[in-house]
Structure 1
Amino acid sequence: MRNLEYGEKEISYLSKKDKKLGKLIEDTGFLECKVSEDLFDSLVGYIATQQISNRAAETVSMRMSLKFGIVTPEKIASLPDEEIKSVGISMKKAQYIKGLSEAVLSGRLDVEGLAGLTDEDVTSQLTSIRGIGDWTAEMFLIFSLGRPDIVSYKDFAIRKGIMSLYGLKDLDRGTFEKYRKRYSPYGTIASLYLWHLSENGG
């Protein structure tokens, strides 16, 4: 694990671009963000924990770590679907994870090579794999590749954070894009604070 690198330059930029976000950053203080360096293992984790609560995701992640350790394509490919499912995920997710390992082993997906691609190309390659959508690709971009400019419309907590920060009753895609562009090129740092706001009763 390494820390997502950001500091005064990024915080100052966001604070100047958006006073409400700047106040949130000032009130909250520095937020640490860990970035995983094992790309395949982390991608499996995002698939396993998509569309469930944070608490459930923590439980699934802990069970996977205890049962399988660091997962590799070879290890996953050797497991029956039922054994993957036994960590507390659906059979469909277990099959998605098995399919990911097969895509990597066949050479269809070069997980390590994703680090050298643009955000758009990473998303395109990942979402070509069954069971990986935009949210999973965006979490991979943030928490595995440490990309600095990701704000996920598919993430409920991000949308909740934006609505709370700006006093909005709903958030359509056009309004979301307005804020996403305002935060660029440091959208990921904005996301950290929006998540924090959402998770702490914002």
Structure 2
Amino acid sequence: MEYFLGKVSPENILKASDEDLRNNAISKQKIVYLKELSKAILNRNLLLETFSLKPEEQIKAELTAIKGIGNWTAEVYIMFCLQKEDVFPIGDITLQNTLKELFDVSTKEEMILLSENWRPNRSLATYFFWHYYLKKRNRQPLIY
């Protein structure tokens, strides 16, 4: 049975039981991460509303200081939520596989070097590569 927890918010995540979260298809480990993030927001250790004023590296450092948030999560948050134009989430396996398919690259270092060609629009290039990957595999492209 699926339980609906209402609006997704730090308060509701912390109020929810682990069982309710698990019944909403959230893994045991992700429950820990969501609760850590929720605590950081509510304790004002993480001030999301200030991110638009900060450099991307500082935002990334603040996000990755939270247990369970790694570089990929931080970079994708910066791309989607903050709509930064020059993010290249090299940890993304789909991006890596697409670059290997389209270019003569095999290492992350080579991919990062290649991505310099798309500055200052590496986020847009990433969206194109993700779209290409999905379309080629007859999967629905992402709609933003």
- Cα distance between partner residues in 1 of 2:92 and 2:42: 30
What's the offset of the Cα at 1:116?
A: 1.6
Match of 2:32 in 1: 95
Could you tell me which amino acid in structure 1 is paired with residue 123 of structure 2?
A: T
Match of 1:110 in 2: 47
- Cα distance between partner residues in 2 of 1:184 and 1:156: 20
Could you tell me which amino acid in structure 2 is paired with residue 180 of structure 1?
A: S
- Cα distance between partner residues in 2 of 1:161 and 1:141: 21
- Cα distance between partner residues in 2 of 1:112 and 1:129: 16
- Cα distance between partner residues in 2 of 1:86 and 1:118: 38
What's the offset of the Cα at 1:84?
A: 1.5
What's the offset of the Cα at 1:161?
A: 1.5
Alignment of 1:15-34 (within 5 A): none
* Runs (5+) with no aligned partner, structure 1: 1-62
- The structure in which a higher percent of residues are helix is 1
Aligned match for 2:111, one of 143, 160, 176 = 176
Give TM-score scaled by structure 2 length.
Answer: 0.86
* Runs (5+) with no aligned partner, structure 2: 138-144
Aligned match for 1:161, one of 69, 86, 98 = 98
C-alpha distance 171-148 of structure 1, shift in aligned 2 (>3 A):
same
Contact 1:81 1:95 in 2 (8 A): no
Match of 1:198 in 2: 133
Match of 1:68 in 2: 5
- Cα distance between partner residues in 2 of 1:112 and 1:68: 24
Aligned match for 2:23, one of 62, 65, 86 = 86
Give TM-score scaled by structure 1 length.
Answer: 0.63
Contact 2:75 2:87 in 1 (8 A): yes
Question: The residue matched to 1:163 in structure 2 has which SS?
Answer: helix
Contact 2:5 2:16 in 1 (8 A): no
Match of 2:83 in 1: 146
- Cα distance between partner residues in 2 of 1:171 and 1:75: 43
Percent identity reads 28
Could you tell me which amino acid in structure 2 is paired with residue 88 of structure 1?
A: A
Contact 1:99 1:130 in 2 (8 A): yes
C-alpha distance 82-195 of structure 1, shift in aligned 2 (>3 A):
same
- Cα distance between partner residues in 1 of 2:18 and 2:110: 41
Deviations 1:128-151 (A, max 9, x none): 000000110011011111000111
Match of 1:58 in 2: none
